[in-house]
Structure 1
Amino acid sequence: MMRMKKPVILVTCVLLLSTLTVLASENTYGPAVCCFQFIEKKLSKNRVLTYRYTNKQCPKKAVIFTMKNGKEFCANPAEQWVKDIISGKLTKMNA
């Protein structure tokens, strides 16, 4: 009877660890970049190269501006100056 319990316990432990490993790996595939604070000063629209929105899984909705020098800044998409830069970039793309 004792010999039967050891394999059952071993199989149970392996299944439990496998389940935990799968659950842990699912949580690692979140968004690559999220913004937790926004730049306070206005950026020069002439220096902005590109922009993108953060993933919907991020806690804060944000716009990430990439500057011509390669630096990136997080901005609040509700700010008017952010909207102006985005609309200017969209206008250039559609022209």
Structure 2
Amino acid sequence: MKVSTLALLTLLLAALWTESWGASFRSLYGTCCYKKMFLEKKIPDNRIKSYQETPSHCSHRAVRVETLKGQKFCVDPEKKWFQDYLQRKESNGTST
């Protein structure tokens, strides 16, 4: 009885460990933006709730922008409209 309980406990712990590893792996790359994901249109300032740069391990440098409606888009941080947005935010003394 002890052996089967120990084996069951070991399997359960292994399953929990692999699940947590898989979730962290997915979340690590789930924050990246890929070429086909970029939005080319300007997002109006009053619709932007927040933004966050993608991590350095991603293949494309990008900013993930979240709108007030909860939509998330990838944008090129070098786009003029986004640079203008950042300057306006800085001059207003607000940040995300």
TM-score surpassing 0.5? yes
Matched, 1:33 2:21: no
Higher-helix-fraction structure:
2
- Per the TM alignment, residue 59 of structure 1 is displaced from its structure 2 partner at its CA by 0.4
- Per the TM alignment, residue 36 of structure 1 is displaced from its structure 2 partner at its CA by 0.6
2:49 maps to what in 1?
Answer: 49
- Per the TM alignment, residue 82 of structure 1 is displaced from its structure 2 partner at its CA by 1.1
* Larger Rg computed on CA atoms: 1
CA displacement, residues 51-84 of structure 1 (integer Å, 9 cap, x when unaligned): 1100010000101111000101100011110111
AA of the residue aligned to 1:62: A
Runs of 4+ with deviation above 3 angstroms: 28-32
- Other structure's SS at 2:45 match: coil
| Higher alpha-carbon deviation: 54-63 or 85-94 | 85-94
Task: For structure 1, list consecutive stretches of 5 or more residues without a partner in the other structure.
Answer: 1-24
Task: For structure 2, list consecutive stretches of 5 or more residues without a partner in the other structure.
Answer: 1-20
1:88 maps to what in 2?
Answer: 88
- Per the TM alignment, residue 86 of structure 1 is displaced from its structure 2 partner at its CA by 2.1
Identity %: 29
- Other structure's SS at 2:43 match: coil
- Per the TM alignment, residue 45 of structure 1 is displaced from its structure 2 partner at its CA by 1.0
RMSD, matched Cα: 2.5
2:12 maps to what in 1?
Answer: none
- Other structure's SS at 2:41 match: coil
